[in-house]
Amino acid sequence: MTRSIRTRTSTPFISERSRLATKPSRVHRYSRRDCMRALRKLKLGPGEVELVEVPDPQPARGEVRVRVESAGICGTDIHILHGAYGNLQPPVTLGHEFAGVVAGAGPGVHGWSDGERVAVESLAGSCGRCRDCRAGETQCCPERRAFGISADGAFADYVVVRETALHRLPDGVSFRQAALAEPLCVAVHAVLEKSSLRAGDTVLVTGPGTIGQLVAQVARLSGAAVILAGTAKDRERLELATATGTEHTVFSDREDLPAAVERITAGRGADAAFECAGVGAAVRGCLAAVRKAGQLV
Ligand SMILES: [Zn+2]
Ligand SMILES: [Zn+2]
C-alpha cells in the first residue's frame, strides 16, 4: 500500500543531484525492502497527483534499477496533471524523460555496473512481434508500455527499466542535458528520418515548446534556415530560440502565418513544415505555408 506524505497536488521540478564522486563498482544485487518517494497519478481526472511513499522497485530478470538524477517535465505530464491525457493507466508514477545511475540489477543482466551514468528510453516495453515492432517503430506497437503513462516512471528516487533501454552517457554530458535525450530523439526522428530536408531549405516549425525548439536546432544543424512560430504567450520561448540561432520568429496570433512565411521565403513557401504545437490551427497554418511538393511532418 502507498502512504500519502503530502496530499496537495504538486508539480515536480527538473532536478539534478551532484555527480557521482565514486567510480562504478560491480552490480549490486538488490534485496532490501526500503521505501522511496514517487509522484503518482492515482486515478483519472483533473489533479489526483500526489507525492507518496512506495516500496523501492525491485529489478526482475533482464531489468536494471536506475537511481534518477534528473527528470524533465513534458507537456504530456501537464496534460496528465489536468486530466487531459487519454492513454493513461493509473495508478502510475509519472515521468518519462530522465537520466540517472545504475543502482542494482536483476538476474541475467550482464555488462552494467552500479554507478554507471545512463540515459533511458521512454519505452518501457513492446510486444516485439507486431508489424510495427518488426519495422523498428516500437512507439506504434498496440501493446507498448510507456514510462509515466502505463509503467511507473521517473518522478521518483528509483525506476526499474529493461536492460536494453539503457544508454551510457559520455563524461561530457550532464544528467540535466541527458534528461533531454528523449525529446531530442523525437526531434531527430522527425527531421532526419521523417523528412527529406536538404541544406539550404527553409523550414517552418510551429510551437516553440521543448520539441519545437529541438526540431528547430536539428533542422538548423542539418543546414536549414528556420522560421519558428508561436503566440504572444510564447515570447520568452521565441526569444530563447533567437538567442540559440533560429533565423526567424513569428507571432502567429499577430501576423497571418502563411503570409509571414511567404514574406520570409520571397513567395516560395516553406520547403518543409514541422507541426509541434498539437493544435488544429497550427496544422492548417502549416498546410497553407508549405510550398508545392513540400513536406508536412
Ligand atoms: Zn515527453
Ligand atoms: Zn509490437
133-153 pLDDT tens trace: 999 889 899 999 999 999 999
Calculate how far, in angstroms, residue 130's C-alpha sits from the geometric centre of ligand 1.
24
Q: Average pLDDT over the chain, rounded to whole?
A: 89
Instruction: Provide the phi-psi class of 184: left if phi over 0, else alpha when psi is between -120 and 50, else beta.
Output: alpha
pLDDT at 91 over 90: yes
Q: What angle do CA 203, 209, 215 make, to 5 degrees?
A: 35
47 falls within a domain: yes
Domain identity same for 174 and 195: no
Check residue 34 and give its pLDDT.
Answer: 84
215 falls within a domain: yes
Q: Containing H/E element for 175? A: helix 175-178
**Mean pLDDT score, 263-273:** 97
Residues 119 and 113: their CA atoms lie apart, in Å, by 14
197 falls within a domain: yes
Calculate how far, in angstroms, residue 259's C-alpha sits from the geometric centre of ligand 1.
31
Domain identity same for 155 and 206: no
pLDDT at 243 over 50: yes
Residues 220 and 199: their CA atoms lie apart, in Å, by 9
Check residue 6 and give its pLDDT.
Answer: 40
Domain identity same for 246 and 158: no
Domain identity same for 25 and 119: yes
Sequence-ordered list of residues with C-beta below 8 angstroms from that of 113, at least 6 positions apart, any chain: 24, 25, 26, 27, 102
| Residue 113, all three cell numbers | 555496473
Domain identity same for 12 and 109: yes
Q: Could you read off the pLDDT of 171-211 as tens digits, one per residue?
A: 999 999 999 999 999 999 999 999 999 999 999 999 999 99
Note whether 225 and 245 are within 8 A (CB): no
More confident residue, 292 or 4: 292
Calculate how far, in angstroms, residue 148's C-alpha sits from the geometric centre of ligand 1.
9
Domain identity same for 92 and 60: yes
Domain identity same for 143 and 8: yes
pLDDT at 262 over 90: yes
Give the percent of the chain with pLDDT over 90. Answer: 85
- pLDDT category at 33 given cuts 50, 70, 90 is low
297 falls within a domain: no
Calculate how far, in angstroms, residue 97's C-alpha sits from the geometric centre of ligand 1.
6
Q: Which ligand is the nearest neighbour of the Cα of 95?
A: 1
Sheet holding 117-120, edge to edge: 158-162, 63-72, 97-105, 117-120, 166-168
Q: How many domains does the chain have?
A: 2
- pLDDT category at 7 given cuts 50, 70, 90 is very low
Calculate how far, in angstroms, residue 72's C-alpha sits from the geometric centre of ligand 1.
8
Note whether 229 and 259 are within 8 A (CB): no
**Strands 63-72 and 49-55, bridge-based pairing:** unpaired
pLDDT at 86 over 90: no
Q: Which domain holds residue 45?
A: 3-179
**Mean pLDDT score, 155-162:** 96
pLDDT at 8 over 50: no
pLDDT at 23 over 70: no
More confident residue, 87 or 28: 87
Give the percent of the chain with pLDDT over 70. Answer: 89
Residues 57 and 175: their CA atoms lie apart, in Å, by 21
| Residue 100, all three cell numbers | 540517472
Report which of 154, 150, 151 is spatially closest to residue 181, judged by C-alpha positions. 154
- ipTM, two decimals: 0.94
By three-state DSSP, how is residue 119 classified?
strand
pLDDT at 114 over 90: yes
CATH (domain of 138): 3.90.180.10
Calculate how far, in angstroms, residue 22's C-alpha sits from the geometric centre of ligand 1.
31
How far are the Cα atoms of 19, 31, 68, 109, 116 from residue 22, in angstroms, in the given order? 9, 22, 17, 22, 10
